Structure 1
Amino acid sequence: MFWCLGPGPGQQKLAGAGLSAAPLPACPSSGAPGFLGCVDRQRGGCSLPPGRQLRSEAPTQLEPAVGEEGRKGEEKSREARGERTMGPWSRVRVAKCQLLVTSFFVLLLGLLVASMAVLTYLGAHFAVIGRASPVGSPYEAVHRWAFFTGISLAGLLILGAVLSAAATVREAGGLMAGGFLCFALVFCVLVQVAFWRHHNPTQVEDAMLDTYDLVYDQAVKGSSGTRRQELVAIQDTFLCCGKRSPFGPPGGVDADLCRGEGAAVQDCLQSIRSFLGTHGHVASTLTSVGLALMVYAMLISSFLWFAIRSGHSLDRKGTYALSPH
Structure 2
Amino acid sequence: MQRTTTVPSYESARRRRGLTILSAIAVLILIAFIISVNTGYIRLTPLELLNTMLGKGTDKQELILFDFRLPRIVISLLIGAGLAVSGAVMQGVFRNDLADPGILGINAGAGLMVMLMVSFYPTTNAAPVYFLPVIAFAGAGLTAALIYSLAYKRHEGIKPIRLLLTGVAVAAGISAAMIVLTLRLDPEKYQFVATWLAGSIWGTSWKFVLSLLPWIVILVPYVIYKARVMNVLNLGEQTAVGLGANVNKEQFKLLAAAVGLAAASVAVSGGIGFVGLVGPHLARRLVGPKHQLMLPASALLGALLVITADTLGRWILQPSEIPTGIVVAVIGAPYFLYLLARTKS
Structure 1-normalised TM-score? 0.22
Q: Which has the higher contact order (CA 8 A, sep 6+)?
A: 2
Structure 2-normalised TM-score? 0.21
Q: Which has the higher helix share?
A: 2
